[in-house]
Amino acid sequence: MNTTAIPSLRRRLASMLYESMLLFGVVFVSEWLFSTMLEQRHALYLRNISQVWLFLVIGVYFVWFWTHGGQTLAMKTWRIKLVTADGNAIGFKRAVGRHLLAWMWILPGFAAAWATGAKGWMLILIPAANVLLWTLTVLLDPNRQFLHDRIAGTRVIGVSDQAVKSKAAA
């Protein structure tokens, strides 16, 4: 497969923003199914089970797409592909590992806000600082990969226009 240079940080962040909009629909339908099937009449009823359900749904979403072509819909739109560090297709275990590591974008910030008893704007600033710090990890890697990619043994590459056209013609 023809690939271009490593996608810019801006392009990867734009893909992540688009992915979050797509995930909103997936999460909405999944939660609707959950609450309908279990006759959830109050948001706090079965809340912990609902959160586990959504965590699993999101995990299945990403793992399935990454192991079946290396691209989610947003990644296809932005011509970004996930491969192993040596350029091969992603396997199931590596995809699960990457998904779990990607939660480091937000979980430490929320845990720090909870542990410090943050109130008001600090509930936004602490997790936002975590996201900013995690984003800056791209500057520490010579191949401009995020920390979770480096740990998981994956990398994000750009897919060239020629590769997209040849795949469409096939």
Nearest-angstrom CA–CA distance, 8 and 1:
19
Task: Label residue 20 exposed, middle or buried (CB < 10 Å: 0-12, 13-18, 19+).
Answer: exposed
At 1, the pLDDT band (50, 70, 90 cuts) reads very low
At 164, the pLDDT band (50, 70, 90 cuts) reads low
Q: What's CA 98's distance to the chain center, in Å?
A: 9
| Percent of the chain's residues with pLDDT above 70 | 92
pLDDT digits over 48-66, tens only? 899 999 999 999 999 999 9
In the chain, the largest separation of any two C-alpha atoms, in whole Å, equals: 56
pLDDT above 70 (res 68): yes
Average pLDDT over residues 142-164: 86
Q: Residue 167 has what pLDDT? A: 60
pLDDT above 80 (res 4): no
Nearest-angstrom CA–CA distance, 166 and 11:
23
DSSP β-bridge partners for residue 81: 157
| Percent of the chain's residues with pLDDT above 90 | 78
What is the signed CA dihedral for 58, 97, 7, 62, rounded to 10 degrees? -20
pLDDT above 70 (res 161): no
**Do 35 and 5 touch, CB atoms closer than 8 A?**
no
What are the backbone dihedrals phi and psi of residue 118, each rounded to the nearest 5 degrees, phi first? -60, 145
pLDDT digits over 108-143, tens only? 999 999 999 999 999 999 999 999 999 999 998 888
Of 167 and 65, which is predicted with more confidence? Answer: 65
